[in-house]
Structure 1
Amino acid sequence: MNDLVSCFDAPLHYNFFTASKEGKYYDLSQILKGSFLEKKPVFSVSFVENHDTQQLQALESSVQNWFKPIAYTIILLSEEAYPCVFYPDLFGAEYTDMKDGEEINVVIPKVEILPKLLQARRYFAYGEQVNYFDHPNCIAWVRRGIPDNPGCVVILSNSEDGYKEIDLGTQDPNTIYIDFLEQRKEQVKTDETGKAVFYVNPASVSVWIKKSN
């Protein structure tokens, strides 16, 4: 079909599902392993949840709430991902359904940080991606930006506080960065060679952008 058909990336969803259950014991550096996004991103549609994965539906493979910001960061801010956002994750939802003859009420809370992640995609997710997938509990990547749109530094943790030394190159010396998501309050400044250490809270995400932006 010459890649005319796009496929929902169920393998990636199941990686998210497993990672949310295993917590700090899941190796984040392998989060893309076996996914369409890893193997053939041109025809993959990345998603965190859909109508089949939620409670009492066909698959019942709901990603745990604590991990959803991490999962959405991956699909929204990765260079090759073509993301699909689940309506209840953005706005919340509540419904009733039957299981074993019993009526059950299901509440899907909205992912509070999702609107900010959508803004981050719109304004800062541009340019080449350089990965730092070098630790089981803390990974990061850089979006280099393009002439008319800036990039960002993305860092994730599924365990304790994390950090990464990132090389942004000699074009970014002595530059101040702030966390667009406001999870971290400090500022980070690159040295004369464009290197700096960027931080993330436990089981959290941060998106670092140039302060002038």
Structure 2
Amino acid sequence: MAGRDTDPERLIEDSETYLNDELTPEAIERLMDAALTDELLREFGYSDVAYLVIGNFDEPQKARLRSVRNELADRGASQFAFLLDEIGDQVWENFVVKFKIFAARVDFVVGVFEDNEGGHELELAELDRERYQQKTRVFKQDYLTVKAERSAYDAMLAHLFEIMDNRGQLYRWETEEELLELVAEHVPASRPP
């Protein structure tokens, strides 16, 4: 069954639910326009399998996120992979609301983590909620020493990595080549049953 819910009324309703407030008339107009004109939002709506790739948006980390996105999108015409800043540009003012909108609608959330930078701890903490648990795969960069590891990741991320590892949804990499191989191997190419 191809497609996912990108109906403007549902997007407005869900945005207001996550925001716990009503959207402004301007925000509603932006969302309605995007539902009609945003090419990526349309592709997302018609995709058979959709992947949200999260992590640090600073360079060079963002380049690795794009590599992961490309690896997933290259699986076929019905596969759609994206970074959150690529879709619905200028529509959602609140990043957390936008994250929840798309995390709820994708088949898989693919997290690529190299350090604490970039503010992605919020997304990883959100992914521990039951509704996201089965669809999440986390790819954590490993460091050669305990000191380097502790410098890269704080206790909150270390704890969340431990939770994901206990679920069998944490994969460790050191090079970009290893990262892409792990993504190809451990992120399903079809929707979950």
- Class of the TM-score when normalised by the shorter of the 2 chains: under 0.3
Structure with larger Rg:
1
More strand by share: 1
**TM-score for the superposition, normalised by structure 1:** 0.26
More helix by share: 2
**TM-score for the superposition, normalised by structure 2:** 0.28
Which of structures 1 and 2 has the larger relative contact order (alpha carbons within 8 angstroms, sep 6+)?
Answer: 2
